[in-house]
Amino acid sequence: MIRVGIVGATGYSGVELIRLLAGHPHVKVANLYSSTSEGEALASVFPHVQALELPVLAKIDAGQMGADNDVIFLATPAGVSAELSPELVKNGAKVIDLSGDFRLKDGAAYTQWYKRQPAADEWLQKAVYGLSEWKKEEIAGAELIANPGCYPTAALLGMIPLAKSGWVNPKSWIIDAKSGVSGAGRGVSLGVHYSEINESIHAYKVSSHQHTPEIEQELTGQAELEQLIQFTPHLVPMTRGILVTAYGQLEKAAALSELQELYQSSYAGKPFVRLRQPGSHPRTKEVYGSNYCDIALHVDDRTGRVIVLSVIDNVVKGAAGQAVQNMNIMLGLPETAGLPLVPLFP
């Protein structure tokens, strides 16, 4: 069995990794690490895992960790991985980092959007952006994966085929995104207080969210043409799910059927992207608990725009699930191993 370690198991992404890996046929959760709860059982934090056999939370020690694990997942706050991941790789482990520390190739952009020091440039360049469906070859050979952000995953999977096609004005993109509250993590604040969130919706970080440059970088890279995006996240009164509504100005008159074919061929053989009927309206509930990204296409002849709807479960495809998918690719395992193929409905 492949030995897996998880840093940050007491957060939502960490415990979701445990859910997925507990059912994975080829790996064993060998080690859990925590900077705050060393020596405790995870079930003391999360009673819902009390029936699992899990190691106690161990102390973070890069040398030992590299030796004790084949693969290490980091589900840690910004800044932790920048320091820790290079050490883990040097000590022999493959690393999948769920934080934003290695996603931006440009350290200056990291500083601008994250308001903190970037990781060493050598490692920024070495890290592979782990958008499974579009980077499979690089992922297969990588030692360090920058696992994509939740919003970028939904946005990029929905937009890349169009951006590559050149049919959309690359400065016209508007991404209006809606997320459940779990994306904010388990830390407490007025911003996640039930009474403040329930029966309400609001936008946040308009024009300043740190996922903006991540989306632009990857969309530009795939299209080989600079893309400029407007990105607006919103907080929705639900726990899980992201819906991206993306708007692009068509530069040629494209029939909906043409776009549908473009996406069909783009995602043929990719098990976790489901192209929905043209003109349909996917619901986040229809991917709940699963690693799917469901995409639907619309063309508005009045305005000359394409509208892409893209839904994921932010905790799965937007975090832990895509991380497991990347591990599978890195290790040459079947891409779907350990990943549930039927969403929880209702």
Which residues form the catalytic set?
150
Binding of a second copy by 166 (CB under 8 A): no
Residues 180/342/42/329 CA torsion (nearest 10 deg):
-100
Mark the segment that binds a second copy (CB under 8 A) among 14-22, 89-97, 129-137, 157-165: 14-22
Nearer to a second copy, 15 or 323 (CB): 15
Give the integer Cα–Cα distance in Å for 246 and 169: 13
Give the integer Cα–Cα distance in Å for 269 and 186: 35
The residue within the footprint of a second copy, chosen from 108, 207, 224, 268 (CB under 8 A), is: 207
Tallying the residues shown for the chain, one arrives at 346
The token duo for 313 is 């479960």
Of residues 216 through 275, those in contact with a second copy by CB under 8 A are: 228-230, 232, 234, 236-241, 243, 245, 247, 271, 274
Nearer to a second copy, 138 or 286 (CB): 286
Task: Tell me how crowded residue 29 is: count the other CB atoms within 10 A of its CB.
Answer: 23
The residue within the footprint of a second copy, chosen from 79, 92, 107, 340 (CB under 8 A), is: 340
Name the strand (E) or helix (H) holding 13.
helix 12-22
Give the integer Cα–Cα distance in Å for 16 and 10: 10
Nearer to a second copy, 64 or 249 (CB): 249
Nearer to a second copy, 224 or 342 (CB): 342
- In Å, how far from its chain's centre is CA 343? 17
Nearer to a second copy, 17 or 144 (CB): 17
- For 301, residues 6+ apart whose C-beta sits below 8 A from its C-beta are none
Check: CB of residue 230 under 8 Å from CB of residue 175. yes
Binding of a second copy by 199 (CB under 8 A): yes
Mark the segment that binds a second copy (CB under 8 A) among 68-76, 97-105, 122-130, 298-306: 298-306
**Which residue carries 């349909």 as its tokens?**
280
Binding of a second copy by 309 (CB under 8 A): yes
Of residues 38 through 57, those in contact with a second copy by CB under 8 A are: 46-52
**Which residue carries 């690719």 as its tokens?**
329
Instruction: Provide, rounded to whole angstroms, the least separation between the CB of residue 236 and a second copy.
Output: 5
Task: Name 93's bridge partners.
Answer: none
Binding of a second copy by 70 (CB under 8 A): no
The residue within the footprint of a second copy, chosen from 24, 105, 135, 178 (CB under 8 A), is: 178
Instruction: Provide, rounded to whole angstroms, the least separation between the CB of residue 212 and a second copy.
Output: 8
Give the x/- contact pattern for a second copy in 140-159, rule: CB under 8 A. Answer: --------------------
Q: What is the DSSP string of 108-152?
A: HHHHHHHSSPPPPHHHHHHSEE--TTT-HHHHHT-SEEEPPPHHH
Instruction: Provide, rounded to whole angstroms, the least separation between the CB of residue 321 and a second copy.
Output: 12
Binding of a second copy by 305 (CB under 8 A): yes
Check: CB of residue 338 under 8 Å from CB of residue 328. yes
Mark the segment that binds a second copy (CB under 8 A) among 32-40, 104-112, 146-154, 337-345: 337-345
Give the x/- contact pattern for a second copy in 269-288, rule: CB under 8 A. Answer: --x--x-x--xxxxxxxxxx
Mark the segment that binds a second copy (CB under 8 A) among 10-18, 31-39, 120-128, 144-152: 10-18
Q: Please tell me the count of residues contacting a second copy according to CB under 8 A.
A: 88
**Strands laid side by side in the 27-33 sheet:** 57-58, 27-33, 2-7, 71-74, 94-97, 144-146, 128-129
Of residues 99 through 138, those in contact with a second copy by CB under 8 A are: none
Give the integer Cα–Cα distance in Å for 223 and 216: 10
The residue within the footprint of a second copy, chosen from 201, 225, 253, 255 (CB under 8 A), is: 201
87 class by beta-carbon count within 10 Å (0-12 exposed, 13-18 middle, 19+ buried): middle
